[in-house]
Chains A and B, each alone.
Chain A
């Protein structure tokens, strides 16, 4: 069953960045997000026989990731509850302060990250998916991770003019794609 469509050896290259953006919006912590993604891949590997092939690999991994994120918040909430009890008994002079003010506040952590930006990121990922995998990697390194031209050239064994041709094509393709998916 699983062998038809799952390619765990390609998961990191294909989906890690997508899952990372999905997670970072929800947990707002790089390290936690990285751990959750590692766990998701491993969980996917363990349950790969359950993969029925009626969803895409990415959708399937997202569904596992969602459960991981929920678990993460569950654990975190348990800790929060204990902290509340602790505060109630220890600071008498703080009496009158609302407990809610002293527990961890998640509500506005992602306030700056507007819905529009989330959707824009998804659109960018959809569009990056339409590019050649290698070109997309090079574009991401250059544009998102701000790698030096020279470093990328060494890594991929290409000349700077090769690199700029790839960047040019990637940018043109992305502009067209985003125009279609985002602006209209």
Chain B
């Protein structure tokens, strides 16, 4: 089996996205770090991506649960 030693930009972006949701494996995270050292564009993407994550967290944006929405829809439907 060949061991992967470098990420393409596409793979790096994918790992970076996953990392925003803490779903990136340790080995992928390492490969991502290596890639970021050599690739300026992906570094920028990574910064922006992180920033979006921070925005989403700090804004404390909230959504209704699916169950609640379903209940509202049914209620509306009964009046339609």
Give the B-binding residues of A (Cβ under 8 A): 8-9, 11-13, 16-17, 20-21, 24, 30, 34, 37-38, 41-42, 45-46, 113, 117, 120-121, 124-125, 140, 142-145, 149, 164, 167-168, 171, 174-175, 178-179, 182
Contact = CB atoms under 8 A, between A and B. Distances in A.
28 contacts: A8-B76, A9-B76, A12-B72, A17-B64, A20-B62, A24-B62, A34-B64, A37-B72, A38-B72, A41-B75, A42-B75, A113-B60, A117-B59, A117-B60, A120-B58, A124-B61, A143-B21, A143-B56, A144-B56, A144-B62, A149-B21, A149-B23, A164-B18, A168-B17, A171-B17, A171-B20, A175-B51, A178-B55
Interface of B: 13-14, 17-18, 20-21, 23, 48-49, 51-52, 55-56, 58-65, 68-69, 72-73, 75-77, 79-80
A144 B76 contact: no
Contacts of B21: 142-143, 149
Contacts of B18: 164
Contact of B55 (A17, A21, A120): A120
A32 to B, nearest CB: 13
Given A12-B73, A37-B72, A42 B79 contact: yes
| Chain B interface, >50% SS class | helix
Contacts of A45: 76, 79-80
Contacts, number: 88
Contacts of A164: 14, 17-18
A13 B69 contact: yes
> Which 9 interchain pairs have the tightest Cβ spacing?
A120-B59, A17-B63, A175-B48, A121-B59, A12-B73, A12-B72, A144-B63, A121-B61, A12-B69
Given A12-B69, A168-B14, A171-B49, A144 B61 contact: yes
A12 B55 contact: no
Contacts of A9: 73, 76-77, 80
A41 B77 CA distance: 11
A175 B20 CA distance: 14
Contacts of A174: 52
